Structure 1
């Protein structure tokens, strides 16, 4: 045997070692396969049940998110469906207000019954229009006396006034309106300039 091995040389020895390793790996694979085949059927069912439960929970979460998103979209559609119409109606309301304001108080005091009835009719029309818009979610933005907020106000000019905090809305040129959580039209305002900062005023009030 030694002579045969010597005759074949190192290549024959390496080949024999490789064949032995391959046989051992094959045997190990066969043992593993036999072990898997012998798994407890109860454990297999439990694993399958856990996988199905995990899939069901993910699907239920996705369906819940879809339901919430759909409900929110439906609510938004109902709330903002009249946005364009409401914005156009505000222009009509503005014209009614301008028509009322063109008459000075002296002229209104001296007006005859016919003109007085006309003025009252225009005012009633304006109030009715604004009340209708309010029923559909359109509300007037309360601006005067508030701190200037670029999300709701549009500054048209500054008013020197050291008696109120800086950036306080002191005059409303055109009323602003919002629908739901959205601004339908920002209020056009004049803001105070030269007064103390609002933070300093708040601190002084807190100390008092």
Structure 2
């Protein structure tokens, strides 16, 4: 009886309560571990703000590129809008020039007042036409004496000449023109053949 009493006495009650507390703390700890932590509202706000800023920067860059493309397209439209018309007018100018050159110098010197006035009128018309085209960005190519450039010149024949550098433009058969940064019509030229090799830009810098 004494042993049973000791085992079931106050000490046994304390041990039972202590064990229950330990079990309760373990269960609470496990519950805390299983429950996911709530996201930090401040961090979420920062992430959202960064995403919005990134979208804004991308949109601003796209709008800037669009503005530049639009400005370039408008500028090109203004510069090259008369390209087809200018090319047609050059054909008219060529005919005026042929008409002028068809009159021999002797006949022009001995021409009567009426013929002289006609020749002068044709020359004035040609000059006025070329002047109007120039106001719209059309400029004449002056290739004579320059090195042949396939971007602006079209070689029609070769001229044997040992006194000038090879591929130098010696004669212009038909004038060429540019509009803005583009070639409206290449100049038809005759180039030198048989002379010394043309000096390159690299060689010129080396000297």
TM-score > 0.5, shorter chain as reference:
yes
2-structure distance, mates of 1:84, 1:148 = 26
Per-residue CA deviations over 1:101-132 (Å, capped at 9, x if unaligned) read 00111111101111111111000000000000
Q: Is the 8 A contact 1:160 1:194 kept in 2?
A: yes
Match of 2:44 in 1: 44
Match of 2:19 in 1: none
The answer to whether structure 1 residue 195 and structure 2 residue 195 are counterparts is yes
Matched residue count = 178
Q: Give the 3-state SS of the residue equivalent to 1:172 in structure 2.
A: strand
2-structure distance, mates of 1:111, 1:171 = 29
Match of 1:5 in 2: none
The Cα shift of 1:40 comes to 2.1
Deviant stretches of 4+, over 4 Å: 30-33, 200-207
The answer to whether structure 1 residue 102 and structure 2 residue 94 are counterparts is no
The answer to whether structure 1 residue 34 and structure 2 residue 12 are counterparts is no
Q: Is the 8 A contact 1:165 1:201 kept in 2?
A: no
Instruction: Please report the TM-score for the alignment, with normalisation by the length of structure 2.
Output: 0.80
2-structure distance, mates of 1:198, 1:122 = 40
Match of 1:15 in 2: none
Q: Is the 8 A contact 1:141 1:178 kept in 2?
A: yes
1-structure distance, mates of 2:200, 2:47 = 66
Q: Give the 3-state SS of the residue equivalent to 1:154 in structure 2.
A: strand
Tell me the C-alpha RMSD between the 2 structures. Answer: 2.2
The Cα shift of 1:134 comes to 0.3
Closer, same or farther: CA 32–67 of 1 in aligned 2, 3 Å: farther
The answer to whether structure 1 residue 131 and structure 2 residue 123 are counterparts is no
Determine which structure has more spread, i.e. the larger CA radius of gyration. 2
Q: Give the 3-state SS of the residue equivalent to 1:170 in structure 2.
A: strand
Q: Is the 8 A contact 1:165 1:195 kept in 2?
A: yes
